Amino acid sequence: MEMCCERAREFYQRAIDMFYDSQSVIVIEDSDITDITDITLPSAGAPMQEDPDASVVILDESGTAEPEAVATPSIPAPSLTLSLKLICWNIQGLEERHLKERTLAAINVLQEESPDIIFLQEVIPSIHALMAEHLCSTYHIFPGRRSGYFASMLLKKAEFQVQSVLMEPFPGSRMLRNLIIAKARFHSRNMKFMTSHIESMAANTAERHSQLSTTFEHMRNADEEISIFGADTNAKDFEIDGLRGEMTGIHDVWEALGSTPETRFTWDMSQNDNLGFRGPRIRYDRLFYHQKEECLRPIELRLIGKGRLPCGMFISDHWGLMTKFNLRETASVT
């Protein structure tokens, strides 16, 4: 155990040094995380080291289990259908009012829903600490930064063999936005998951377009059989429509399920008064998927976080997106 602890510390320092020295992307490969078993994340309320330019991957406390040997298939068997559940949610971490109550309520929702994948936006260090305390036994946790506010990705340990995690900065971002890219194996399928908090504000339309264009390019050119991207895109419908030419083979989950009005608006100021005003209704939060063959199909989409808390607020000014997919895999027997 002492050797594992020492290697964990060395790896963590190397990740930090890579960022400070090169300002480039940081990649964790499976060889780095296989035997790291004792990285301790901060407890709730513990301060995290502040550095406005840091973008460092922090692994959960148990790392990734050693991959088991897989028998070479010899006889094809009928296809199996698996279920894959995902939540994407901007949790309004920059709003200080009743932050801990709202964060604990969000954690409670995540625990009750028990998704396989979680994409979060507007996470801050104190929220990350609470998430780590309550969820790190179940999920690998990959925050996009360790200061300021950032996106975060959580993958269920029991379901995924994580192969690599990359934090790719958007070079034109004025808000230090980046793209978290995780490659993982889910049963027989190699998959790529991506999340981000895309550049906001009307003045940054061009940069928002660039960030989404970069992400869609990742999806189109992926080596993996399936790519899934979920984010607070900060994009209005006309902005996404302007990118349709770059979305060949990329599907919007809401559209694929029939564009139902009940699940359209994720930032709905006609119902949500966290910001203290009424009016706009916008579909900022979106989920996209790309596949090399027809094996993934969304079967459900609903909005979460719509219950008012005892403090009088909602968990966030955004409703969360919960979606379920059916995934077909070809099983084999020896």
Catalytic residue among 60, 116, 232, 317: 232
> What is the Cα–Cα distance from 163 to 127, expressed in whole angstroms?
26
Residues belonging to the chain: 334
Q: Could you tell me the sign of the dihedral formed by the alpha carbons of 253, 259, 263, 269, in that order?
A: positive
Do the Cβ atoms of 67 and 25 come closer than 8 Å?
no
Strand partners, 286: 231
Least Cα distance to 255 among 242, 245, 268, 241 occurs for 241
Strand order of the β-sheet with 285-291 is 26-29, 160-169, 178-186, 189-197, 226-232, 285-291, 250-252
| DSSP class of 246 | G
Strand order in the sheet with 296-304: 139-143, 150-156, 117-123, 75-90, 320-333, 296-304
Distance between CA 210 and CA 206 in Å, rounded?
6
Active site (annotated) includes residue 232 = yes
| Dihedral angle sign, alpha carbons of residues 164, 134, 197, 325 | positive
Handedness of CA 209, 212, 214, 219 (dihedral sign): negative
Bridge partners of 140?
155
CB atoms within 10 A of CB 127: 25
List residues with catalytic annotation.
232
